[in-house]
Amino acid sequence: GEQRSLYDAMGGHEAFARLVHRFYAGVRQDEVLAPLYPQDDWEGAERRLTMFLEQYWGGPTTYSEERGHPRLRMRHMPFPVDTDARDRWLHHMRAGVDDMGLPPELDAMLWDYLERAAHAMVNTADTG
Ligand code: HEM
């Protein structure tokens, strides 16, 4: 039977590291998102998101060993995430997912998750 985790099927550490590296390259150029991130710890931010996604998809559980329970909505409360921030976040994530070059079925699973997670992270009403 098929015993490989989705993490392995998606390409393991190399694939997730590539995804998140591309994502942050976009975020760093984004005038709305960039200021929200720790300007002196982009490497740390990249590492935390990579570990989280690896753990979510069945890879190493280093994220929770280092950071505890994800509680992502709570951890994002310091950052005003409105629909514009969400859509920008998804835009950069889409570029990263494209870089993974996944088979369509895996691409769709990963993208569906990211879209739903991003919609759930909105914590600030649009100000117009
Ligand atoms: C952390 C912004 C959505 C996962 C962060 C940080 C910011 C941020 C500014 C702090 C960077 C750091 O020090 O690690 C946003 C914005 C989003 C968004 C604007 C728009 C929707 C998401 C989504 C996920 C996610 C959908 C998961 C699929 C994480 C993780 C961390 C993080 C795992 C590190 C948490 C920790 O351990 O401290 N995010 N985020 N974010 N974000 Fe997001």
**Three-class SS state of 115:** helix
Domain encompassing residue 44? 6-120
Cβ-contact 72, 121 below 8 angstroms: yes
Decide if 127 is inside a domain.
no
Decide if 125 is inside a domain.
no
CATH of the domain at 103: 1.10.490.10
- 49 C-alpha to ligand 1 centroid (Å): 7
Distance CA 106, CA 36 (A): 30
How many folded domains does the chain comprise? 1
Q: Whose CA is nearest to atom 20 of ligand 1?
A: 86
Ligand 1: lining residues by beta carbon, under 6 Å: 33, 36-38, 45, 48-49, 52, 67, 72, 75-76, 79, 81, 85-86, 89, 114, 117-118, 121
Per residue of the chain (128 residues), give pLDDT as tens. 456 899 999 999 999 999 999 999 999 999 999 999 999 999 999 999 999 999 999 999 999 999 999 999 999 999 999 999 999 999 999 999 999 999 999 999 999 999 999 999 999 998 76
Decide if 1 is inside a domain.
no
